[in-house]
Structure 1
C-alpha cells in the first residue's frame, strides 16, 4: 500500500529580470510551506537552522513553533512579525467505509473557500507524512440528479477519499482524527504574481526573514514568525509575554492580503486578539497589509511590487537598511512525487499499469488539441501496430489488423473536458467556452493553464494563470467562466494566445491507497490506456476477422471524431465497442439505485446509456469472452454517451466495455488500476472471439 508520497512542487516562474525572478521564487517557497494552524511546530522547528544560516543570526523555536530572532542592542526596542499558518481542515470522522469527514480550522473570509476544496486533490498531513487524497464531488454525468444542489458547498458537505475501503485501511495509512487536511498544490506563479492560499500573509513572512539579514543601526529588533495567526495571534502574544527583558516600543505586523493596500498605526487590529497588545504592554501597533487579487481564496495572488513594498515595510519596522538588490530568503519546499516519478509505487505489482496510465493522463488534450496524446500513444504502440497506424482527416488514430471480414471496432477517445478561449477583453480577462461536461465549480478559483500551439514564438507552450473566482457567491455554479494570466490583451496576443486555444488546470496524477489512482482526464485516458495495453497483448496473425483499434478526437461535447469514422467504416462494421468510463454511483454523494458498480471488482459491460443499448446477444458474447478468460465482469446502466453511438445509425450495435470510476468530469476522478488491467485483457479476449 503506497505511503504518503506526494506531487513534485514545481514553481512555474515567468521570464523576469534575475532579481524579480529570485524574489518570486522565494515568495512562492513561503506560500508552499506546510504550517497547518495549531500544528506548525511539526515544520517550523526545522526552519530554525535554515533561517539562521540565511540571515546570520540565531533563530530559536519555542514550544508552540514560533520562530524568533533578536538583532542589535539598546533602545528603541522593535518587533516585526508575520503569521505563518493558514486556515485549513481537520479530520473529524473516519467512516467504516474508509471515508473522512472534515471540519474547518481557522476563520476564512471568502464564501467559496470550502467549495474550492471539493472535487480536488487534497493531502492529509499525518505524523508520518502527507497522504494523497481527493475530495468527493457529484459525478458530472449525473447533473440531472443534482439539479437541486444549488447552494455553495460548506465544510459539512466535504467527503475525503483516500482510496481506502475501511477504517482499518485508513489507519494503516497513518491517518488519525484531527490530522490537518489541505489542498494538494504548490504555489502557482503567473505573470508577475505568486498565487496560493494566504499568499499575501506568507509574502509577509518572506519579507520579515529577508529583512532580518540586516542589523539595525540603532536599538534592538525582534523578528518573529508567529504561529496560530488564525486564532488571533496567540503565538506572538506568548513571545511578547515570555520575553521579560524586551519591552517593545514599536510593533509592526505584516498582515494578510486585502483588496487594497493598508499601512497605518491602529489601537486595535481586526483578527488580532487585544490580549496580544496587553501582553506586550502596547497601546497601538503598526500594520502593513499588501493589496492582492482574489483575497481569501486558493488563488490569492500577490504581485512582485507588492511583495517588494512589504519588504520595505518590514525594513522600516525593523530599523534596518536594505541593500540595493535584496537577496530574498527562500525556505525548503516539500517534494511531492507524482505517480509517474514515485519509485515506491512504480515498483509494486500495479506499477507498470500506473506508469503507462500516468504518461497519458498528465497530458493536456481539450477537443481539437489532442496531438500530444496521439503522439504518446503512437510512440507506445508495438512495432506491428505502429506500422499499420494512420491518422485520418480529423486526427483519429486508427490501427487496422486481421483479415478483411466482419469488422469489429474498438474505440476510446483521447480528448478531455476543459475550456477553449472564446474572447479576450482589453484588460486580459479571457472568457472561456466549455468543452464537454466540465463541472464549473471544480475549476473556479483554481490555477489555469493555457496551451499554445507547439513552438509558438519559440517559447514554452503554456501560459500560466488562474480561473477567476467570484468575489462572493450563494449558489454553487457560476454563469460564466473566465481566466486571467497576468497580462493585458496586447501581451497575450504577443505571446501567441488566440481564440480557440485550450485551457485546463494543471494536473499531476497520483496513487492513492492500494490500487486506487486519481488524476484528471481518467475519462478517457484510462480507456485509451486499456486499448493500448490490449493491442500489445494481441498477435495480429491470430485475429479471425478485421479489427479497427481507434483512438478518437473530439468525443467530449460532440462525438466528432466518431462521426467521421462511422461515415467511413460504419456500413461494414458488425459491432463496435466503446472503451470509456462507467460512471459509478459508488460515492457518498450519489443514490445507489442505478449505475452502482464497485471499483476494483472488474470491468463493466456498459449495457445501456443515454444514447444506445446493446443487444442481448452481443452482451452474451462479452460475458462468454470474460468467463473464458477468467475476468470478473460487472454489468450496468449509466448516464452519458459514447463514441459508439455514431455507429448505431449505420446498423452496428454499440456496447460499452468500461472501467468503473468516481467523480467524473472533475479534477478528482478516481479509478482502480486492477479494473484497467482486466479491461485490457477483456478487450483482447473479445477481439480474438470468432
Structure 2
C-alpha cells in the first residue's frame, strides 16, 4: 500500500521571478545514535501542539518554556534575532496546520464547522468523522466528537458513498440545546483542531503535518542553540503564522527585516518521488505579493528544504528520526552553526494532562463513569478479550469474585441464589475491530474486519497491534503503527483495511507478529458536556459496566432464585460466546436479559422515524431488533418493575442483534435491556450516564424480584 521510501530532503532554489531549480538531497547523516530513540517522541510533541491558522498562540504559549529569548509579533510569529552585521540570513518554518472554526451552533446543540486553510489531503475532512476534536474557546478547551452514521444502520446509508466534506461534519459536544453548547463557552469562530495522541512507532513520529512540525522543531532548536558570538553576521529565526493564508505571517517578518543575504525555508513534508518543481506560488495564494516582499529584501532566490514523509498530508503523516536529524543539520548549516543542535521538545499539553488526571465527578454518576473509563480503553478484539475479562474480575465484589468461573469458550460467569427459576443477564466484552489476515513483504498488514466495522472511521488513524498472553507471562502489550490511508478516493469506504507498523515483514515476524493477532485503533474515552461520554467500545463496555454495578448492589444471600451474570466473548460477528453459554445453560433458564446498546437515531444523520430513543431519558426496553422480538408478557414484566421503582424507561426497535438471540432457541425468552447510544461500531460512540444509571437500577430490580 505504500512504496519503499528513500529518506531524503528536497532542496529548491526558488527565484523571485518564479522559476525553480531543484535537486534531491539524500540525508548524508551519521549513523543512528541513542539520541534517535528520543527524537520521535520529541517531534510527536510538536505535532500535537494546537496551531490553527491565526490561532498559533495556543502552540506558542506551550513553547514559551523551551524558547526563552524569542518574541511574538502582532501577526503571531515567534522570532529570535541573533548577532549583528553581515551576512544577514533568515531561517523560517510555518507553525499552522489547516483546521476549522465554529461556523454555527444548531438549536439541538451541535457545532457546525468551516475549514481554515486548504485541505492537506483529499480525505482530510472525512478523517475527522467519529473522532474527537478540541474546540479552543476563550474559557479553555472543549472536547467534541464528530458525528457519523450508526454502523448498525448501514442498509439505510447504502447510498452514501461520496467522500465526506466539511459541510457534512457535525460536532457533538454533549449538549441537547444551543444554550447548553454556549454554556460550555463555545462561540462563533472558535478554532477547532483534531485531538491527537503523542504517537510514535518504529522510529517515526506521526500526526497531521508531521514534516512541517519537524521542520519547525529544527528551526527552533537551531535558534535556541545560536549565540551572538557563535557565527558572524545576523541570523533571524522565525516560526511563522498563517502559512494557510499565503504565508502572510512570514511575509510580514520579511517586509520589516530589511535587506537579507539568504532566506532558508524549512517547509512541509513531501512524499518521496513527488513533483520537484516548487514555484513561488507554493509560498502562498498571493503570488505577486509574496514575490514583491521577497524581492524587497534584496533576494533573488529562496532555499526550500522539505523532509521526506510517508502518508503525506494525512492525519498519520510520518517522519523518520533520521530525517529529523538531517533537518537539524540543515538548520545548523543555514545559520552558520558548527554542529547540529540538540532537539528541543515542548512540554506535554497541560490540558491533556489535566484530562488524563480527570477530576472526580461531583454528581451521582462518578462510580459508573470510573468503571467505564477503566475498561473502555482496553483492547477486546473478538477472541482476545482476556484483558477486559481480567479487569472486570478485579472489579467484582468479594462474594462474586469467589464464585466467578471462566468457561471453555472464555465467558466470565457469576452465579448466585438457590437452584430454581434461573434467569441470566448477559453483556459482551468484545468490540468491533480487526485481526491480522496477511503480511506483505514490505510489512503492510492486511486486516480482517471483526464485526460490523465502519472502515472509513479507522482509515488514516493510529493503530495498535496487541499480543496475547503466552503461558504465564505476557508478551509486549502492543505494537504501534497506523491504518494506511488511501492517497485519493472516489468513494467513502476503502475496499480493504491495512496497517503498517514501520518495519518489513521479516522484522514483524521476528517481533512475534502472526496471522490472527488483534489490531485496534487508538482508544481514549473522554467526557463530553454534562453527563455524556465518548469512547470506542461503549458497545458493550457500557453494558458490562452496568452489569458489574448491578452485581455490586446485590446481596446474594437475599436472592430467592438462581441468577447468572455473564460477560460473554465473541459477540461481534457471530454471538459465539453466547452460543456456547446457551448450549450449557439455556435449557435451565426461565428468561434471558441481553444487556447491550440500543442503536439510536438520536443523531443529526439519521431518520428519527425509526429507532428514536433520546439520550438522557432512561434505559431502553429493546422490544424488537433484527434477531429477536420479546414476548409481550416479558416486556410488561420489565415495564412494571421500572414503574414500581420510578426508573425512567423508553421502548423501541432498532437494528442489530444481541447475545440472547443465540440462547433463546434453548427455551429462554430474550428481552433486551439497553441504553441509547450514538455512532455505533465507530471510535466515536456516545452514551449518557443517566441512562446507564437507570440500566443498573432495572437490572438490580429484575435480579432481586421475588419469584
**Could you say which TM-score interval applies, normalised by the shorter chain?**
over 0.9
Question: 86, 95, 104: which is aligned to 2:106?
Answer: 95
Q: Distance in 1 between matches of 2:279 and 2:635?
A: 76
In structure 1, what is the Cα distance between the partners aligned to 2:58 and 2:404? 54
1:256 correspondence with 2:268: yes
Residue number among 573, 579, 588 corresponding to 1:557 in the alignment: 573
Counterpart-to-counterpart distance in 2, 1:41 and 1:646: 56
CA distance in 2 between counterparts of 1:519 and 1:654 reads 27
Structure 2 CA distance for aligned equivalents of residues 197 and 343 of structure 1: 26
Root-mean-square deviation over aligned CA pairs: 1.9
Of the three residues 290, 301, 304, the one matched with 2:307 is: 290
Shift of 1:63: 1.2
Q: Could you tell me which residue of structure 2 aligns to residue 445 of structure 1?
A: 460
Residues 295-347 of structure 1: CA distance to partner in whole angstroms, max 9, x if unpaired? 11110001111112222222222222215xx4111122313448984443444
* 2:67 corresponds to: 51
* Shift in alpha-carbon separation, 1:266–1:668, aligned structure 2, 3 A: closer
Cα deviations by residue, 1:262-297 (Å, 9 ceiling, x for unpaired):
899976251434323422423321101111111111
* Equivalent residues in 2 for 1:131-210, closer than 5 Å: 131-210=142-221
In the alignment, is residue 241 of structure 1 matched against residue 255 of structure 2? yes
Q: Judging changes above 3 Å, is the alpha-carbon distance between structure 1 residues 460 and 105 closer, same or farther for their aligned structure 2 residues?
A: same
Cα deviations by residue, 1:544-586 (Å, 9 ceiling, x for unpaired): 2111110000000010100000001111111000000000000
Residue segments in structure 2 that go unaligned for 5+ positions in a row? 1-31
Of the candidates 67, 79, 92, which is equivalent to residue 78 of structure 2?
Answer: 67
Distance between the aligned counterparts of 2:278 and 2:172, measured in 1?
45
Q: Deviations over 1:22-68 (max 9, x none)?
A: 3222211211111111121344256345312xxxxx21110121011
| Alignment partner, residue 10 of structure 2 | none
Match of 1:582 in 2: 598
1:307 to 313, 316, 324: 324
> How has the CA–CA distance of structure 1 residues 236 and 220 changed in structure 2, closer, same or farther, with 3 Å as cutoff?
same
CA deviations over 1:185-231 (Å, ceiling 9, x no partner): 12310011101100000100001011221345222111100000111
Corresponding residue SS for 2:666: coil
1:257 and 1:291 in contact (8 A); partners too:
yes
Matched-pair contact (CA < 8 Å) for 1:80–1:318 = yes
- Does the 8 Å contact 2:417/2:556 carry over to 1? yes
Q: What does the per-residue CA deviation read over 1:126-149, in whole Å, with 9 as the maximum and x for residues that have no partner?
A: 112111110000000000000000
User: 1:601 offset after TM fit, Å?
Assistant: 0.4
1:674 equivalent in alignment to 2:685: no
What SS does the aligned partner of 1:28 have?
helix
- Rounded Cα–Cα distance in structure 2 between residues aligned with 1:17 and 1:416: 40
Cα pair 1:45 1:65 within 8 Å, conserved: no
Among residues 235, 246, 256, which one is paired with 1:232 in the alignment? 246
Query: Counterparts of 2:219 and 2:58 in 1: how far apart (Å)?
Result: 21
d(CA) in 2 for partners of 1:45, 1:569: 61
Where does 1:460-499 land on structure 2 (aligned, <5 Å)? 460-499=476-515
Alignment gaps of 5+ in structure 1: 1-15, 53-57
1:627/1:265 CA distance change after superposition, 3 Å:
closer
Change (3 A) 1:533 1:127: same
Contact 2:36–2:322, Cα closer than 8 Å, also in 1: no
CA contact (8 A) 1:515 1:674 kept: yes
Structure 2 CA distance for aligned equivalents of residues 580 and 266 of structure 1: 55
One of 370, 378, 396 as aligned partner of 1:355? 370
Q: Which TM-score applies when normalising by structure 2?
A: 0.91
Q: Please tell me whether the aligned partners of residues 62 and 347 of structure 2 are also in contact (alpha carbons under 8 angstroms).
A: no
Partner SS state of residue 38, structure 2: helix
CA distance in 2, matches of 1:614, 1:349: 32
Q: Which residue of 2 aligns with 1:7?
A: none
Q: Distance in 2 between matches of 1:399 and 1:539?
A: 13
Q: Per-residue displacement from partner, 1:218-273 (whole Å, max 9, x unpaired)?
A: 22111100000111111011111123xx3111111111111127899976251434
Contact in 2 for aligned 1:84/1:202 (Cα 8 Å): yes
**8 Å CA contact 2:62, 2:349 repeated in 1:** no
- Contact 1:340-1:359 at 8 Å conserved across structures: no
| Mapped partners of 1:349, 1:628: distance in 2 | 21
- Residue 291 to residue 344, structure 1, CA distance change in 2 (3 Å): same
> How far apart, in 2, do the equivalents of 1:158 and 1:428 lie?
34
Q: Is the 8 A contact 1:455 1:461 kept in 2?
A: no
| Aligned counterpart in structure 2 of residue 530 of structure 1, from 546, 563, 566 | 546
Mean Cα displacement is larger for which, 559-568 or 350-359? 350-359
From 426, 435, 441, the equivalent of 1:420 is 435
Output aligned runs, 1:18-57, within 5 Å: 18-44=34-60, 47-48=63-64, 50-52=66-68
The residue that corresponds to 2:613 in the other structure is 597
Inter-partner Cα distance in structure 2 for 1:21 and 1:338: 23
- 1:348 is displaced (CA, Å) by 3.8
Whole-Å separation in 2 of the counterparts to 1:341 and 1:312: 36
- Tell me which residue corresponds to 2:359: 344
- Closer, same or farther: CA 438–336 of 1 in aligned 2, 3 Å: farther
Give the aligned partner of residue 545 of structure 1.
561
30-39 vs 197-206, greater mean Cα deviation: 30-39
Q: Is the 8 A contact 1:345 1:511 kept in 2?
A: no
| Residue 11 of structure 1: aligned partner | none
d(CA) in 2 for partners of 1:654 and 1:171? 43
CA distance in 2, matches of 1:339, 1:399: 37
Return closer, same or farther for 1:341/1:220 CA change in 2, 3 Å cut-off. closer
Structure-2 residue corresponding to 1:55: none
Q: Distance in 1 between matches of 2:394 and 2:624?
A: 34
1:108 aligns with 2:122: no
C-alpha separation between the residues in 2 aligned to 1:547 and 1:48?
60
Call closer, same or farther: CA 1:340–1:328 in 2, change over 3 Å: closer
Once residues 376 and 333 of structure 1 are traced to their aligned partners in structure 2, the CA distance between those partners, rounded to angstroms, is 28
Mapped pair 1:399 → 2:414: yes
3-state SS in 2 of match to 1:373: helix
